[in-house]
Chain A
Amino acid sequence: MKPKVAFFDFAGCEGDQLQIANLEEDVLALLDQVEVVSFREVMKEHSDNYDIAFVEGSCTRLQDEDRLRQIRKNAKIVVAIGSCAAIGGINSLKNYKELDDVKKTVYGDSARLFDTYAARPIDAVIPVDAYVYGCPMTKEEFLSVVKSLLLGKRPDIPTYPVCVECKKNENVCAFERGQFCVGPVTRAGCDSCCVNEGTICWGCRGLIDNPNENSEKEVLIKYGLTVDDAISKFNLYYGWQERRK
């Protein structure tokens, strides 16, 4: 019998689930291997009987925790897909501000109608078995994680920084061309895709397991950033990971 899989989303842009559609013809091959029993974005049917749950988005309010716990209860394996679910992602930017101010900035006098707390990855609420990092996750890594899970293997996720891949791709280092980058402390696995396209590493895959953050901040400052700007580079995606320490 094919394993039953389900997709769920919390606070996020649904860009990770879009990568499933972006598998194009490979979707058909995937459907040969698994049975999709719930995927609100694309299907009307829904079932609570599933083996693997893929969860996108961060948890940003107390009322969503029960839904997450229910998913954990129903599923044998829970996979966090994309930065928001895996590390808290861009949503954690708001964690650096007073939540009351955040609410007032967007909703003015109606701010009291809202319920929000510090944005967090789903493993801050429930145990998670596997991660597909990235903003958005790449379809290649998603397929590779799915394959590992179906074979009962632990997914092979790099523990080294983006710089390793970036050097292999023979990119000119961002620092050498007068830009600033958090590649030295960010988890690889993206094939340094943003630098390849002429920009910098923004840090979307989160910190590596043993990052030397102080040294990275010193480098940023040495190359000309103010202390505030150096810290702000870390705030973009690592908001929850930094807080947890």
Chain B
Amino acid sequence: MKNQNLNLEVHHITRVEGHGNIYVNVHEGTIEKCEWAIPEAPRFFEAMVVGRQYSELHHITSRICGICSIGHTLASLKATEAAMGVQISEQDLKLRKLALHGENLQSHILHLGFLVLPDLLGVGSVIPLTASNPKEVKTVLRLHRLANEMSNLLCGRTTHPQRLVPGGFSKIPSIKELTSVRQKLKEAVPDVQAVAGLIKSLAGKLPDFKRETEFIALTSPDEYALYDGKLGSTDTGAVPVNEYLSYTNEYIVPNSTAKRAKHARESYMVGALARLNLNYDKLSPMAKQTAEMFDLKPICYNPFMNSIAQLVEIVHSVEDTVRLIDELEASGLKSQPEYNVPKIKVKAGRGVGAVEVPRGVLFHDYTYNANGYCTKANCIIPTNQNHANIELDLQALLPKILNKPEKEIELNLEMLVRAYDPCISCSTHAIKVHFV
């Protein structure tokens, strides 16, 4: 028996970063409304940075998001460095890749362990799990702490990094500190496997749903692209990141939520699943084994599998971190002056920086005048690119679950949104919602 009439309003959906609402209206069996709306207060970063000096931009835009502040800092630095024509050293490049791994690990573990796991275990939050599943919670906490330790070592802080500066680093870790983290990561492999095993035992709870869509992510012939690459699509080819505007095509929906993006279709998806769909072959060996455990291979059209793709990336980040530290050890870590301020020849110009952050590809685009002051800025955040895809997924999922009890419909819709790990506080372009 299908629900003939249903009026569902999930205000400020929980266990996501930022504020989002789901509105559903079913009248006599017909779906009249199924919307995803963003009431988050806009913060106007792109206007705030105008007039600020190049040495401050990364510090300011890091504050767009506490969860992916390392990614915002790196995208910002890349944009500034591209505008000024600065090349960072091979060593700094590796250290920055490590910083990105640290953040991806931290964010993915937080999402899987604290935000997704409660749905799979049928509770409202991780808090009751501290009593019912203390062993599992402690494993997640241990991994989270280790990821933060890594970010702390590379960035001088876990949130809003300090050591990352235009042209390189103000301070770098010692090789002893790096090899000590490598050792801890190797020792943490059983913890990662335990989490994978736990998720595997619960994977049946992930709805079997698919909707064909386009996936967009950085892609590179050399590695599983996170810090660098061209902008790739599962529908079309890859282009240099400078041409990102031809992919993101932001638009505004009247009476709807945030600025949205579309490329070859009505919507596209970014994030771990998009990266895996585009770059599966470049995953580390153990990461591929983890994907195989879940029968996850490209192209996977089930958005609920984004959480599993995050798990696969956790494994990849652990293995790739070990590889990068091996390389740094082999080449010998070059020291640098204390309070290092890399020399930058200020010039006028525009630069685009793109980085894969936990929730997908992130763009910062700055124009500077001859004195190094920002005259124009544009930041396009992963979650905004996903909004249209989230709504189309909700609209495709709803008819398939209409015969379920209302509570279950609500849970399934919420789980779908959560699978995207949306980071709405990031949404510099959020638009106020008007409902009539």
Contacts and interface: CB of A to CB of B under 8 A. Distances in A.
Interface stretch (A70-78, A149-157, A197-205, A215-223): A197-205
A103 B115 CA distance: 34
B435 interface: no
B130 A31 contact: yes
Nearest to B18: A14
A25 B41 contact: no
A25 B145 contact: yes
A194 B162 contact: yes
Contacts of A44: 14-15, 118, 124-125
A157 to B, nearest CB: 20
Contact of A107 (B66, B118, B163, B429): B429
A172 B171 CA distance: 14
A106 B252 contact: no
Contacts of A28: 130, 137, 141
Counting chain B CB atoms within 10 Å of each CB, the highest count among A10, A44, A45 belongs to A44
B162 A94 contact: no
Contacts of B175: none
A220 to B, nearest CB: 13
Contact of B425 (A12, A102, A196, A198): A12
Contacts, number: 185
A45 to B, nearest CB: 5
A178 B124 CA distance: 53
Contacts of A116: 41-42, 44
B41 A13 contact: no
A216 B121 CA distance: 56
Nearest to A57: B41
A11 B339 CA distance: 33
Given A43-B15, A197-B170, A94 B141 contact: no
Contacts of A46: 14
Interface stretch (A16-24, A123-131, A140-148): A16-24
Contact of B67 (A14, A39, A236): A14
A15 interface: yes
B397 interface: no
Contacts of B163: 197-199
Interface stretch (B52-60, B289-297, B318-326): B52-60
A88 interface: no
Contacts of A60: 41-43
B157 A197 contact: yes
A94 B145 contact: no
A197 B160 CA distance: 12
A243 interface: no
A24 B145 contact: yes
Interface in A68-124: 89-91, 93-94, 97, 101-103, 105-107, 110, 113-116
Contacts of A25: 138, 141, 145
A22 B148 contact: yes
Given A18-B67, A42-B126, A97 B47 contact: yes
Given A94-B47, A94-B48, A172-B338, A198 B170 contact: yes
A163 B141 CA distance: 35
A13 B63 contact: yes
Nearest to B172: A198
A208 interface: no
Given A42-B115, A105-B46, A110-B431, 14 more contacts: A9-B425, A12-B66, A13-B65, A16-B66, A31-B130, A41-B14, A42-B15, A44-B124, A97-B48, A107-B429, A113-B432, A197-B156, A197-B163, A198-B340
Smallest CB-CB A-B distances: 4 pairs? A15-B66, A198-B170, A43-B125, A197-B156
27 contacts: A11-B43, A12-B66, A13-B65, A13-B425, A14-B18, A21-B110, A24-B144, A25-B141, A27-B141, A28-B137, A40-B12, A42-B125, A42-B126, A44-B14, A91-B43, A103-B47, A106-B429, A107-B429, A116-B41, A172-B339, A193-B156, A194-B162, A197-B163, A198-B170, A198-B340, A199-B339, A202-B59
Interface of B: 12, 14-19, 41-44, 46-53, 56, 59-60, 63-67, 69, 110, 114-115, 118, 124-127, 130, 137-138, 141-142, 144-145, 148, 156-160, 162-163, 165, 169-171, 252, 338-341, 425-426, 428-429, 431-432, 434
Interface of A: 9-19, 21-22, 24-25, 27-28, 31, 36, 39-46, 57, 60-61, 64, 89-91, 93-94, 97, 101-103, 105-107, 110, 113-116, 135-136, 172, 174, 177-179, 193-194, 196-199, 202, 229, 232, 236
